[in-house]
Structure 1
Amino acid sequence: MEIATPQIPIHEGAAYKPRNVDTDLIFWRRPADLRLVADFTTGGRDEGVAAMKNLEEEHRIQVRDLRGHESEFSLPQNGFQYVWHEIPELGGAADEEQVEQFIVPQTEELVKKLTGASRTKTFKHRVRCLASDPATLADNRAPAHSVHSDFTVAGALRNLVNTIPDAEEREQLLSKRMMIINIWRPLKTVTRDPLAVCDWGSLNHQNDGIANRLVLPGGWNELGKYAFNESQKWYYLSGQRPQEALVFMQFDSDRAEEGGVTVPHTAFVDPEFRDGPPRESIEIKMFAFF
């Protein structure tokens, strides 16, 4: 089963011209064990964060601008795409009630239209509005400057247990195709710390991915970290506006054997806008069932 042919084109006539950016992205060195477990249930939070940061290394890469070429990329082919999607209530994203009553339902309808899913279930949303934040892990509201995916295959299936606690219902859902989709968009036109995504087809799925399991008091999650590979191709949309939603895969059960299409992404420093105002953005993560 293929994803439905997209019928939502990106808006034409943007004021920005394409501009590729040479920048440093933060990857992980490949450890001997391709799964690093950080246990935060024993009071060693600082040590666990330090152990993860010790694996970080920077690589200079070029993030290519898709401005003017948006229609050449799609969820089935690349694991991501940009779509034009206006939400009148987007200015109220700081209001939790506005998000839940207006922004989430309209975003779920977008995903259904884009993928052909019969049902969606949003499980997390987050507004990022700070240049830096002393909070760590999932509490952080600053852009995430580290190449990662939100889940590994194991992490995605674990998240399904957390989201759909009824075992019988889960079994029925797992008998068919299931995806996790992340919809990311700015609340104001992006200049500082834009978001880059990696073309899923450019990854070495056997060697690039590193499982990072976080054991927390409320349970565990497993996200993906990535080692650098020269074949990787990175993209962004310059001057991305609130109506220009980035939709990207974080899991596809039909492609679990090739890594599940857990698309790597990261904020990055554009030297021209290094000292600009903090980026304001919202991300909404949901299951899509078929």
Structure 2
Amino acid sequence: MGSIGAYTPRHVDTELCFWRRPDTGRSVQIDFTKGKPEDNVKQMHVLDETHSVQVQDIRDESSYTLDKSGFVYLSHEIPELDRVSDGEFVRDSIIPKTEELVRNVTGATRTITFAHRVRCLASDPSMLADNRSPAHSVHSDFTPAGALHQLETIVPDEKERNRLLAGRVLVINVWRPLKLIQRDPLAVCDWSSLDIESEGIPNRITLPHGWNELGRYACSAKQRWCYLGGQQPSEPLVFTQFDSSKMEEGGTTVPHSAFVDPTYNDFAARESLEIKMFAFV
């Protein structure tokens, strides 16, 4: 994104919640169909560890691209964002415009949105999929295994799925402020700065309706964490959560997390919209 007048970047020293590597094995499985829910929630946080990180304000940078870094900030207006509580309006207007944006950016010929969420609470007692507060933990929405499993759900016909997998399949998350972002901005990790083999920790969560495998991450001093200072609703963040063409590089499942900017910690809760979709190139 370009600069705003005589803009001075605001790099933020903060803390992010990572995972330490498990004592045995490389992955973690949590089964919510067994045991007490509160015990399973606790298990999700057993490996939590906090590290000090500087999140770089990249408003004056132009070197971050979807293919190179796994994310890009774009200039893209959508009118009437104040109507996000209207599910029909989101389905008929906001999602089609967002899918068009993703097709233009990726060259995809087809997109299928499978989830969207408005985050508008400072805190939320829900710990799982319906949480509407910012997610203060370093994670990706999928591992490659999780993304391919999600594709089976979206495209159950095996022949059709194999045809799509013969091309490039992406999972894209489009994260858009509904108002100027001050409290709890979103940080993304430059994928090229990550060592997925030593830092990625697959986390498979089993629920009564099925399972997902998301990515958790150990901290490294080599990681580059970024955000867009003063991000506006017309400046969506587009980032990759899976790329079938880059499986040997870990599938580009970009880690991200909300973070505390001490300057704005007492401001009103952040309001944002995220839309997740498959894009077929």
TM-score normalised by structure 1 residue count: 0.94
Q: Is the 1:202–1:232 Cα contact (8 Å) retained in structure 2?
A: yes
* Aligned: 1:63 with 2:55: yes
C-alpha distance in structure 2 between counterparts of 1:221 and 1:16, whole Å: 41
Q: 1:167 aligns with which of 139, 146, 158?
A: 158
Distance 2:17 2:185 in 1: 14
Q: Aligned match of 2:4 in 7, 13, 21?
A: 13
Q: Which moved more, 1:54-63 or 1:39-48?
A: 39-48
- How far, CA to CA, are the matches of 2:175 and 2:102 in structure 1? 12
The residue aligned with 1:5 is none
Q: Provide the residue aligned with 1:226 in structure 2.
A: 217
Distance 1:90 1:162 in 2: 29
**Distance apart, 1:202 and its partner CA:** 0.3
Equivalent residue number for residue 265 of structure 2: 274
Question: Residue in 2 aligned with 1:87?
Answer: 78
TM-score (normalised: structure 2): 0.97
The runs of 5 or more residues in structure 1 that have no matched partner are 1-9
2:44 counterpart residue number: 52
Q: Do 1:186 and 1:280's aligned partners in 2 also have CA atoms closer than 8 Å? A: yes
Structure 1 distance, partners of 2:120, 2:108, is: 31
Equivalences for residues 68-147 of structure 1 within 5 A: 68-69=60-61, 71-147=62-138
Residues 153 and 256 in structure 1, CA contact (< 8 A), matched pair in contact too: yes
- Supply the distance in 2 between the matched residues of 1:16 and 1:239 (Cα, whole angstroms): 10
RMSD: 1.2
Q: Per-residue deviation at 1:44?
A: 2.5
Q: For residues 31-59 of structure 1, what are the alpha-carbon distances to aligned partners after superposition, in whole Å with 9 as ceiling and x for unaligned?
A: 02211100011243211110121110000
Partner-residue secondary structure (3-state), 1:165 = coil
Taking a change above 3 Å as real, the CA distance of residues 231 and 11 of structure 1, as seen in their structure-2 partners, is: closer
Report what 2:274 is aligned to.
283
Q: Is the 8 A contact 2:136 2:257 kept in 1?
A: yes
8 Å contact from structure 1 (residues 16, 238) kept in 2? no
Residues of 2 paired with 1:52 and 1:282: CA distance?
25
- State the Cα deviation string for residues 94-138 of structure 1 (Å, max 9, x = none): 211111010000000000001100100000000000000001111
Q: How big is the shift at 1:17?
A: 2.9
Distance between the aligned counterparts of 1:226 and 1:14, measured in 2? 36
Q: Distance in 2 between matches of 1:184 and 1:16?
A: 23
Aligned length: 280
| Aligned match of 1:39 | 31
Q: Is the 8 A contact 1:182 1:247 kept in 2?
A: yes
Taking a change above 3 Å as real, the CA distance of residues 189 and 162 of structure 1, as seen in their structure-2 partners, is same
Give yes or no for contact 1:211–1:222 (8 Å, CA) kept in 2. yes
Distance in 1, matches of 2:222 and 2:197, equals 14
Unaligned 5+ runs, structure 2: none
